[in-house]
Amino acid sequence: MSGIRALIVDDSSVMRKIVERSLRQAGIEISQVLEAGNGAEALTVLANGAVDLIMCDINMPVMDGLEFIKNLSGVANAKDVPVVMITTEGSEAHVVQALSLGARGYIRKPFTPEQVREQVIPVLAGK
């Protein structure tokens, strides 16, 4: 597994950096990290190029993570791109909703690099 392009969507720039570091600590080789502060910004990023992995928060201003996933079906660059939610929302209802909308993984904050590895490696391998 080497050189993926990852899109990290979170309204906290600090959290985006932490997610990037956790991906690298998980042994995932990243060639480029793209960032977005909410779902609408992420759709704009995707309109300009394809990525291999999307890590996405749920609670964000403008467009939240669940609304973002709903909108992905109409984005050519997002076809078959795995989305892993990474969020403080920890209820089973949120997990079920995210997975039913197409998310492939779900990580609750706070999290460890091991949890990132467990969720992300399988979805990248199965891509």
Partner 1 sequence: MPASNGRHQDWLPLLNMATTEVFELMLGSHLTAFTGEDAILDVTSMVGLAGALRGVMSVRCSDSAAALMASKMLGIPLEKGGPEIADAIGEVCNMIAGNFKNKISGLAEGCMLSTPTVITGRDYQMHALADPTLEIRLTFENLPLVVSLQIHS
The contact set with partner 1 (CB under 8 A) reads 11-15, 17-18, 21, 59-61, 87-94, 108-112
CB of 77: closest distance to partner 1 in angstroms? 28
Nearer residue to partner 1 within complex by CB, 52 or 64: 64
Contacts of 92 (CB under 8 A, 6+ apart): none
Q: What span, in angstroms and rounded, lies between the C-alpha atoms of 36 and 10?
A: 6
CB of 98: closest distance to partner 1 in angstroms? 13
CB of 80: closest distance to partner 1 in angstroms? 30
CA dihedral 2, 7, 24, 21 (to 10 degrees): 170
**In 10 A of CB 121, how many CB atoms?**
15
Nearer residue to partner 1 within complex by CB, 80 or 92: 92
CB of 121: closest distance to partner 1 in angstroms? 19
| Strand positions, DSSP E, the chain | 4-9, 30-36, 53-56, 83-87, 105-108
Nearer residue to partner 1 within complex by CB, 73 or 112: 112
